[in-house]
A and B are shown apart, each in its own frame.
Chain A
Amino acid sequence: MIEVTEIRKSYGAVQAVQGISFSIKTGEVVGLLGPNGAGKSTTMRMITGFLTADHGTITVEGINVADDPLGARARIGYLPESAPLYLDMEVTDFLRYIAALRRVQKNVVTGRVRDMVDVCGLGSVVGRPIGELSKGYRQRVGLAAAMLHQPSVLILDEPTSGLDPNQIQEIRAVIRELGRMRTVILSTHILQEVEAVCHRALIINKGQLVGQGSLTELMAQGHSQVRYHVLVNAAETALRDRAGSLAGVNLVACHAASTNWREAVFESTTTKPVSGEAIFQWTVANGWQLRELRRESASLEDVFRELTQ
């Protein structure tokens, strides 16, 4: 469980985070979204105690980060952006070192390290210094180090950056699995990632929380107008002439798809969605053939663009 209230942080004159509040329950995977420089990493760094908030309070599993920084840090597993690691260390030596500093009991360290090597698919790189590993493997070592002590809170700053599509699928599966009984925050600017693994998203822009909610909630609040794409075999002039007889929608664009076919884009004039049947009836009434009628569904990308511009 993470509770963040009105946190602020500035670097000199730059206000990186300006009063963000949110709370995340156990068993929730939350995506922190936002353009570059929005304050995602700064927010995560304040929760993990790498930076101290200028103002506001943060509690992790009921522990105030400012009052008991070590206690809070002990409950967090953190993967910093681009997974910084000690490049001169061998993979399992590194994991053992982190385990020692995290005071993982000596008799379970070996087992834990073996588990993490399995979960993160590190079997083929055991025995090699981290400096020799590719970006994707380093990312996995970082993830293994973050989960080694079985933390109840997991904070991952761009966990899948630099991974290939297969690895991304694997890591997402791991995160989804972990999210069942833990609190997970991950930052990303890949929107599909949020759709794939998160229950809820927090959208941050210019240091402020500009939107939050489950994915369906966000999509509902984002899209005000519904668009229809219609592909018909009609002349452009005829299309434009007859468009007026269609109630509830405006013709916003019309262009040639091929010699006979035109693609027309209609936008609803009200927020109430118009049914596609009306458009179908309209083309039939005009004696045109209809090849495609598509309602543009609101995507997280639209919401993101709307909220962060």
Chain B
Amino acid sequence: MNTILTIARREFAAYFTSPIAYVFLTTFLVLTGFLFFRSFFLIGEADLRPFFMLMPWIFLFYVPAVAMGKWAEERRQGTLELLLTLPVADHDVVLGKFFAGLGLIATALAGTLPMALTVSLLGNLDWGPVLGGYLGLLFLGGAYLAIGLVVSSITHNQIIAFILGVMACFFLLIIGEPIVTIAVPPALVGVVSYCGLGYHFSSIGRGVIDSRDLVYYGSVIGFFLWVNYRIILQRR
């Protein structure tokens, strides 16, 4: 546990030693702020639902960027050899990197809180669904992150890790959309749409936290972290 924390703290700090983290955070906040307030004043409702519905798409590009360097850079710089010859269990390293990335996602989300406060000042905002929405976003971000880390662990190149990460997350996001499910046999529609990352987020975005959705995200995170662990083990 201590080891995970040590690694996570160092990896989180590493984001801020280069300007990249600041560029990411700024771009993320400007973009989400713009996209949300653009329609907010037109609709004129004190509701964060449009913001939550937007996030799976913004995270699609933001989270793979958070994940892309985590393993790819270690491989390129050769520091993987340093890290993996320390008396540290492989799963602790995987979890340390995961929590560092999750920390940056949480930081970005915390940056959007002033937006929610603004909305609550302008109208009567129901905080219950908002908190639920943030929790759901953290889970969704975690799922994207776990996928991004797997992709990062199989390449030396950050850019390739980013593009493949976006593609992989995109695939899992749209699999539950009607445009995909229309093409599968009716009997399988339920199963296929259940697998989609987006399907589970839509109810969270409406403010309904269903334990089944959280279990789903938890399983996706767990599964991909396990795959990540196996890949690291395999490369020894």
Residues of A bordering B, CB below 8 Å = 45, 48-52, 70-71, 73-74, 76, 78, 80-82, 84-89, 97-98, 100-103, 129, 145
Contact = CB atoms under 8 A, between A and B. Distances in A.
Interface in B183-225: none
* Residue of B6, B14, B79, B87 with most chain A CB atoms under a 10 A cut-off: B87
Interface of B: 3, 6-7, 10, 14, 17-18, 77-82, 84-89, 236
B79 A70 contact: no
B88 A52 contact: no
B191 to A, nearest CB: 38
B86 to A, nearest CB: 5
> Which 7 pairs across A and B sit closest by C-beta, in order of nearness?
A84-B78, A74-B87, A88-B17, A73-B87, A80-B81, A48-B85, A84-B79
A101 B14 contact: no
B17 A70 contact: no
A82 B7 contact: no
A70 B89 contact: yes
B98 to A, nearest CB: 17
Contacts of B3: 101
Contacts of B89: 70
Contacts of A100: 6
A49 B14 contact: no
Nearest to B92: A101
Contact of A84 (B17, B82, B236): B82
Contact of B85 (A50, A85, A97): A50
Contact of B14 (A45, A71, A86, A145): A86
B87 A80 contact: no
B78 A87 contact: no
A102 B6 contact: no
Contact of A80 (B7, B10, B82): B82
A102 B10 contact: no
Given A49-B236, A100-B6, A86 B79 contact: yes
Nearest to B81: A80
A80 B77 CA distance: 12
A100 B87 CA distance: 11
Contacts of B87: 70-71, 73-74, 101-103
21 contacts: A45-B81, A49-B84, A49-B85, A50-B85, A50-B236, A51-B236, A52-B236, A70-B89, A71-B87, A73-B86, A78-B82, A85-B82, A86-B10, A86-B79, A88-B17, A97-B10, A98-B86, A100-B6, A101-B6, A101-B7, A102-B86
* Residue of B3, B81, B89 with most chain A CB atoms under a 10 A cut-off: B81
Contacts of A71: 87
Nearest to A142: B82
Contact of B77 (A70, A84, A129): A84
Contacts of B82: 78, 80, 84-85, 145
Nearest to A157: B81
Nearest to A87: B77
A76 B14 CA distance: 27
B87 to A, nearest CB: 4
B99 to A, nearest CB: 15
A76 B85 CA distance: 9
A84 B14 contact: no
Contacts of A52: 236
B79 A73 contact: no
A103 B6 CA distance: 11
Contacts of B236: 49-52
Nearest to A97: B10
Contacts of A88: 14, 17-18
Nearest to A71: B87
A300 to B, nearest CB: 29
A97 B5 CA distance: 12
A51 B232 CA distance: 11
Contacts of B78: 80-82, 84
A214 B82 CA distance: 31
